[in-house]
């Protein structure tokens, strides 16, 4: 019955600034009303909603104020350059700095490559690409290129 995730929601403090930021990522503004905006991440299939809300002041935790955008694995090599072209910095995450990313986060047994960055309000965003499903060997966070060399992917 479930075919995917249709929407995710993030709090923001300045809707106009956030709209400009998400348009920089190439997302299409689908709908805007007072205090909220919806962007297509995949037109007709999924979107991201931004809400002007006091919850933007809640400290970050992975369970809140986070969204991940799926990309293809072949695009992962260029992900940091793509962000830099848009004046967006890769941020430290899982104790891995920008120069060590993309990383494979500890989502065992699923293997994904990921690069982390933030929107203007500090919501954590991620470009993520599936590498392997149902890995047979447990792993800790590791740089993607090291995981591929070690595991022959």
pLDDT on residue 5: 84
Sign for the CA dihedral angle at 22, 24, 26, 29 comes to: positive
Q: What is the mean pLDDT of the chain?
A: 92
- pLDDT tier at 2, thresholds 50, 70, 90: low
Whether the predicted pLDDT of 43 surpasses 80: yes
> What class does CATH assign to 61-153?
alpha beta
**How large is the average pLDDT for residues 109-124?**
94
pLDDT above 70 covers a percentage of the chain that reads: 98
Instruction: Give the distance, in angstroms, between the CA of residue 115 and the centroid of all CA atoms in the same chain.
Output: 7
**Hey, which CATH number is domain 1-58, 3.10.180.10, 3.40.50.12780, 1.10.10.60, 3.40.50.450?**
3.10.180.10
pLDDT on residue 139: 80
Q: What is the pLDDT of residues 85-106, one digit of tens each?
A: 999 999 998 889 999 999 999 8
- pLDDT tier at 151, thresholds 50, 70, 90: confident
**How large is the average pLDDT for residues 102-116?**
91
| CA gap 46, 78 in Å, rounded | 24
Using a cut of 0.95, tell me whether the model's pTM lies above it.
Answer: no
Annotated domain spans of the chain? 1-58, 61-153
């Amino acid at each position: 019955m479930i075919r995917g995730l249709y929407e995710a929601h993030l709090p923001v403090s300045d809707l106009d600034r956030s709209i400009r930021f998400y348009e920089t990522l190439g997302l299409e503004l689908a709908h805007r009303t007072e205090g909220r905006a919806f962007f297509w991440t995949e037109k007709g299939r999924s979107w991201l909603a931004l809400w002007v809300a006091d919850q933007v002041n809640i400290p970050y935790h992975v369970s809140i104020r986070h969204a991940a955008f799926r990309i293809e694995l072949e695009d992962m090599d260029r992900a940091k350059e793509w962000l830099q072209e848009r004046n967006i910095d890769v941020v430290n995450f899982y104790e891995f700095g920008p120069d060590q990313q993309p990383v494979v986060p500890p989502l065992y047994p699923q293997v994904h490559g990921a690069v982390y960055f933030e929107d203007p309000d500090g919501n954590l965003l991620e470009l993520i690409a599936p590498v392997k499903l149902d890995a047979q060997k447990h792993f800790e966070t590791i740089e993607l290129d090291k995981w591929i060399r070690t595991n022959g992917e």
